[in-house]
Chains A and B, each alone.
Chain A
Amino acid sequence: MDFEAKIETTDLNLYYGDFRALIDVNIRVPARNVTAIIGPSGCGKSTLLRCFNRMNDLIESTKVTGRIGIDGQNILEPDTDLIALRRKVGMVFQRPNVFALSIYNNLKFGLRIHNMLSRRDQIMQTIQQGLEQVGLWDDLKDRLHRSAHSLTLEQQQRLCIARVLILKPDIILLDEPCSALDPIATLRVEELLRVLRQHYTLVIVTHNMQQAARASDFTAFMYLGRLIEFADTHRIFTNPGEKLTEDYIRGSFG
Chain B
Amino acid sequence: MLSDFRYRLRAIFRSDAMDRELARELQLHYEREVASLVDAGVPRPDAERQARGVMGGIEQIKEECRDARGISTFESTRRDLHYAVRQLRKHPGFAAVVVISLALGIGANTAIFTLIDAVLLRSLPVAQPEQLYFVTRHQPTGTAGFGYSEFRQLEAKATVFSNLAAYAATRLNVSVQGSVEPTAEGHLVSGRFFSLLGLQAVVGRMLGPQDDERPNGHPVAVLSYNYWKRRFGLDQSVVGRTISISGTPFTIVGVAPQEFFGLEVGRAADIFVPLMMQPTVMPAAENWLGESTQRSFWLTAVGRLDHDRTSREAAALLARLDVLEPLMRKPTSPGDQPQRVPEWLELESAATGLSSLRDQFSTPLFVLMLIVGVVLLIACANVASLVLARSAARTPEFSIRLALGGGTWRLVRQLLVENVLLAAIGGGIGLALARWTSGFLVTFISAGRAPIMLDLEPDSRILLFTAGASLLTGLCCGLAPALQARRVDVITGLRQQLRGASSPEWLRTGKILVVAQVALCLMLLFGAGLFIRSLRHIEPQDGLDRRNVLIVRVEPRGSDQRGVSGTSARLDAIYRDLIRRVEAIPGVRSATMAHYAPTSSVDYSEPLQLTDGETRRIPRLMVYPRYFETAGIELRAGRDFDERDLGAGAERVGVANEAFVRQIMHGANPVGMRFPGSGGTRTIIGVVSNSKYASLKSETPPLIYQPFLQTTTGRGQMTLLVRTSGAVPGVTSRIREEVQRIDPAMPLFAIHSLDEQIDAVLNRERLVATLSTLFGLLALVLAAVGLYGLLSFSIVRRTGEMGIRMALGAARGSVMRLIMREALILVMVGLAIGAPLTLIAGRLVSSRVSSLVFGMSTTDPITIGGAVAVLTFVAAVAAYLPAARAARLDPMKSLRAE
Chains A and B are bound partners = no
A-binding residues in B (CB < 8 A): none
